Structure 1
Amino acid sequence: RDPRAAPHRARGHTRGAQPRAPLPRSHQAVLAGADSPEEPKLVHKVQELAHKATAMAKDAFSRVRESDAARQARCPRPPPARTPVPVPGEPELTPELIPELTP
């Protein structure tokens, strides 16, 4: 095989399609052994559960993304400006008290 060739694509997977999470073995067993008249109901139920789980995961991720902590982590607030606190008994630092530096 030529190493410059396009990467192998799984059968049925086209460009732009979203990857899907594999089904748990319990769901695979239900779908594989569902040859009864109940098969459409079981398939529908598994699909409903998968959609519900996906919606819950998306909701949880968006809540975390929108949380205050996440916003602060992305764009932290600058620290407050430090203002000197006057100490009783000490003179206030004024330009007259600072000698000019001359070269």
Structure 2
Amino acid sequence: MMTFIAFIGAAVAEITGCFAFWYWLKLNKSAMWLVLGTVSLWLFAYLLTLVESEFAGRAYATYGTVYIFASILWMWVIEGNTPDRFDIIGTFVCAIGALIIFFGPRG
């Protein structure tokens, strides 16, 4: 359960951080957005250290699907752009890959 919470928190923090930089650079908003972006990206990195995995790379690979799902949700809810069938299919394909990576039997 802690892994799931860490992944969700990391996704929110990473997307918020990246969006803050995007907001500042692409939309010419105040440089104060860089403070939010920096703090959010620091929190993102910290939260990924809470994931229960023997190897960081495996945790990061699995997290990629959570990030993809959260990004599509962000695009829909925050940016007002409805995901198309390719967004949805791609997210599910990634989810299957993440499940194999994270839960695959290792010997």
Under a length normalisation based on structure 2, what TM-score does the superposition of the two structures give? 0.29
TM-score (norm 1): 0.30
Which entry has the higher C-alpha Rg, 1 or 2? 1
Q: Which has the higher contact order (CA 8 A, sep 6+)?
A: 2
